[in-house]
Structure 1
Amino acid sequence: MTSTGLWRQPDFRNLWLGQTSSMFAANMIAVMLPLLATQLLDASVFEVGVLAAAGHLPYLLISLFAGVWLDRRPKRPTVALADALRAVLLVAIPVGWWQEWLSVPLLAALAFLIGVCSVVSDIGSASLLPFLVDRDDLIEGNSKLELSASASSIGGHAIAGAAFQFLTGPVAMVVNSVLFALSALFTGLIRKKEEPAEVEEGQSIWTDMAEGIRFVIGHVTVRTLILATLIVNFFTALAEPASLTFVTKTLGIAPVWVGVIFASSGAGALLGAMLAGPISARLPLGRLLILTSAVAALASLLTPLATFMPVPVAVALLVVMYTVDAAVIVVYNINVRAYRAAITPDAYQGRMNAAARMAVLSLVPVGVLLGGGLGMLVGVPWALALASLGMFLSTVVLAASHIRRVERIPDLEPREPVADVVREEG
Structure 2
Amino acid sequence: MVAQESLWRNAAYRRYLGADVLSQFGTQVTLVALPLVALITLDATPFQLGLLTAVEMIPFLLVGLPAGVWVDRMRRRPILIVTDLVRAAALGSVPLAAVLGHLTLPHLYVVALVVGVCAVFFDVAHMSFLPSIIDKGVLAKAIGMLESLRSVAGVAGPGVGGAMVQILTAPIALAADALSYLASAFLLRGLKAAEKVRPAQERRSLRAELLEGIRYVLGHPILRRVAMVGGLNMLANGFWAVVQPLFLIDEIGVSAAVYGLIVSTYGIGGVVGALIAPKVVERFGLGRAMYGGALLAMVFPLIIPFSGPGWQLALYPLGTLTWLIAAVVFNVGQASYRQAVTPDHLRGRMNASMRFLMWSMMPIGSVLAGLLAESLPISTMLWITCLIVTAAHLPITLHLPTRDLKL
Query: Aligned partner of 2:231: which letter?
Result: L
Cα gap change, 1:387 to 1:168, in 2 (>3 Å): closer
**Correspondence list, 1:4-403, <5 A:** 5-200=6-201, 203-306=204-307, 309=308, 311-401=309-399, 403=401
Deviation at 1:305, TM superposition (A): 1.3
Once the two structures are superposed, what CA deviation does each residue of 1:137-158 show, in whole Å capped at 9, x if it has no partner?
1011101110111111111111
Query: Aligned partner of 1:335: which letter?
Result: G
Kept after mapping to 2: 8 A contact 1:273/1:330: yes
Deviation at 1:118, TM superposition (A): 0.9
- Give identity over the alignment, percent: 28
Kept after mapping to 1: 8 A contact 2:139/2:336: yes
Secondary structure, counterpart of 2:393 in structure 1: helix
Deviation at 1:169, TM superposition (A): 2.0
Cα gap change, 1:341 to 1:374, in 2 (>3 Å): same
Secondary structure, counterpart of 1:377 in structure 2: coil
CA RMSD of aligned residues (A): 1.8
Name structure 1 gaps, 5 residues minimum: 411-426
Deviation at 1:4, TM superposition (A): 6.3
Cα gap change, 1:192 to 1:2, in 2 (>3 Å): closer
Once the two structures are superposed, what CA deviation does each residue of 1:138-192 show, in whole Å capped at 9, x if it has no partner?
0111011101111111111111011111122222222211110111111121111
Query: Aligned partner of 1:18: which letter?
Result: A
Query: Aligned partner of 1:340: which letter?
Result: R
Work out the CA distance in 1 between the residues paired with 2:203 and 2:21. Answer: 39
Once the two structures are superposed, what CA deviation does each residue of 1:178-213 show, in whole Å capped at 9, x if it has no partner?
110111111121111212213327732222112212
Once the two structures are superposed, what CA deviation does each residue of 1:272-328 show, in whole Å capped at 9, x if it has no partner?
11111111112243333233223223222222211xx3x232431111122112211
Kept after mapping to 1: 8 A contact 2:305/2:316: no
Deviation at 1:402, TM superposition (A): 5.5
Secondary structure, counterpart of 1:378 in structure 2: coil
Deviation at 1:391, TM superposition (A): 2.5
Work out the CA distance in 1 between the residues paired with 2:370 and 2:312. Answer: 21
Work out the CA distance in 2 between the residues paired with 1:199 and 1:332. Answer: 38
Work out the CA distance in 2 between the residues paired with 1:158 and 1:245. Answer: 18
Deviation at 1:221, TM superposition (A): 1.9
Kept after mapping to 1: 8 A contact 2:290/2:403: no
Cα gap change, 1:233 to 1:335, in 2 (>3 Å): same
Give aligned pairs, total.
Answer: 406
Deviation at 1:251, TM superposition (A): 1.7
Work out the CA distance in 2 between the residues paired with 1:337 and 1:120. Answer: 18
Greater mean alpha carbon deviation, residues 194-203 or residues 137-146: 194-203
Deviation at 1:365, TM superposition (A): 0.5
Work out the CA distance in 2 between the residues paired with 1:73 and 1:242. Answer: 39
Secondary structure, counterpart of 1:326 in structure 2: helix
Once the two structures are superposed, what CA deviation does each residue of 1:366-414 show, in whole Å capped at 9, x if it has no partner?
1111112222222112222122223333332113336434242x2xxxx
Work out the CA distance in 2 between the residues paired with 1:343 and 1:243. Answer: 36
Query: Aligned partner of 1:22: which letter?
Result: S
Kept after mapping to 2: 8 A contact 1:45/1:376: yes
Deviation at 1:50, TM superposition (A): 0.8
Work out the CA distance in 2 between the residues paired with 1:3 and 1:161. Answer: 38
Cα gap change, 1:40 to 1:88, in 2 (>3 Å): same
Cα gap change, 1:195 to 1:404, in 2 (>3 Å): closer
Greater mean alpha carbon deviation, residues 293-302 or residues 330-339: 293-302
Cα gap change, 1:301 to 1:287, in 2 (>3 Å): same
Kept after mapping to 2: 8 A contact 1:154/1:264: yes
Secondary structure, counterpart of 1:193 in structure 2: coil
Query: Aligned partner of 2:147: which letter?
Result: E
Query: Aligned partner of 2:21: which letter?
Result: T
Deviation at 1:101, TM superposition (A): 2.0
Cα gap change, 1:256 to 1:239, in 2 (>3 Å): closer
Cα gap change, 1:179 to 1:71, in 2 (>3 Å): same
Once the two structures are superposed, what CA deviation does each residue of 1:52-107 show, in whole Å capped at 9, x if it has no partner?
11111111111111111110010001111100111111111012112222122221
Kept after mapping to 2: 8 A contact 1:290/1:395: no
Cα gap change, 1:297 to 1:374, in 2 (>3 Å): farther
Kept after mapping to 2: 8 A contact 1:82/1:117: yes
Once the two structures are superposed, what CA deviation does each residue of 1:2-30 show, in whole Å capped at 9, x if it has no partner?
97631110110111011111111111101
Work out the CA distance in 1 between the residues paired with 2:382 and 2:401. Answer: 29
Secondary structure, counterpart of 1:315 in structure 2: helix
TM value normalised by structure 1:
0.91
